[in-house]
Structure 1
Amino acid sequence: MPEFHMIPGGPRPVAPFSHAVEADGWVMLTGQMPTDPNAPDAPLPQGIEAQTARVMDNLELVLKGVGLDLSHVVQCRCYLTAFERDYAAFNETYASYFPADRRPARTTIGVTALAVGALVEIDCLARRPGA
């Protein structure tokens, strides 16, 4: 049976979802927004680099809440509202979170809008060791 995880102290959901759902050792993380878990009503960080860093930090927070970290991530889907403008800067910040020889599979998609007016959203799939 799937396990539905809500992480204490995790980012406040912007829609009806669980932070993560786990089944058979696979952990699917809901797309994270660049909101601050400690100040969810604060304005979003300015610029794609700051928003990407906040999203990645939020993913790390959710992963930690289920006993994992970014080294367990096998795939990411990334959504950008200003793809052509932000793609290169997004890649620089995103890449800084993974060793060059351990980057997950990834798809990056340009979209017309994201919740809370975000420039970026990322969801991911992780795998428990030994599962």
Structure 2
Amino acid sequence: MSGAGGPLFHMVAGGPRPVAPFSHAVEADGWVILTGQMPTDARAPDAPLPEGIVAQTRAVMENLRIVLCGLGLDLGHVVQCRCYLTAFERDYAAFNDTYQSYFPADRRPARTTVGVTALAVGALVEIDCIARRPE
């Protein structure tokens, strides 16, 4: 955890291979900010991306879980998500159906979803999030 010493920059062992120069997460004062995750396979980072928005959303959520778990947290600690879709109109409904299955209906994080022109590695979806450690 961090305190007067400043933020902690985390790289999680067994976490997804970064597709750019970043930390998996940065932590300050109990807040944990996770870098946007891609639908890559943490165990086989050079494997092709899964096909379709449902499979890619599942892969992204699994990568968020891996990073959170590596920090002693889980999806229940997530308070906010930002989601990026390259084919917003086509994929929004299927994305929502898949995404919502990861959170209880009465404990869904705040969320923003944005349509974008492109994402790294040709992904259809990317999600970043903010989690809070219990006090």
TM-score (norm. length: structure 1): 0.99
Corresponding residue of 1:54: 59
User: C-alpha displacement at 1:8, in angstroms?
Assistant: 0.4
Is 1:73 aligned to residue 74 of structure 2? no
Is 1:116 aligned to residue 114 of structure 2? no
Inter-partner Cα distance in structure 1 for 2:94 and 2:15: 26
Is 1:25 aligned to residue 11 of structure 2? no
Unaligned runs of 5+ residues in structure 1 are: none
User: C-alpha displacement at 1:28, in angstroms?
Assistant: 0.1
Identity %: 83
CA RMSD of aligned residues (A): 0.2
User: C-alpha displacement at 1:43, in angstroms?
Assistant: 0.3
User: C-alpha displacement at 1:101, in angstroms?
Assistant: 0.4
Classify the secondary structure of the residue corresponding to 2:80. strand
Aligned pair count reads 130
Corresponding residue of 1:39: 44
User: C-alpha displacement at 1:30, in angstroms?
Assistant: 0.1
Inter-partner Cα distance in structure 1 for 2:122 and 2:30: 33
Unaligned runs of 5+ residues in structure 2 are: 1-5
Inter-partner Cα distance in structure 1 for 2:95 and 2:27: 28
User: C-alpha displacement at 1:68, in angstroms?
Assistant: 0.3
User: After TM superposition, where is structure 1 displaced by more than 4 Å over at least 4 residues in a row?
Assistant: none
TM-score (norm. length: structure 2): 0.96
Amino acid at match of 1:41: D
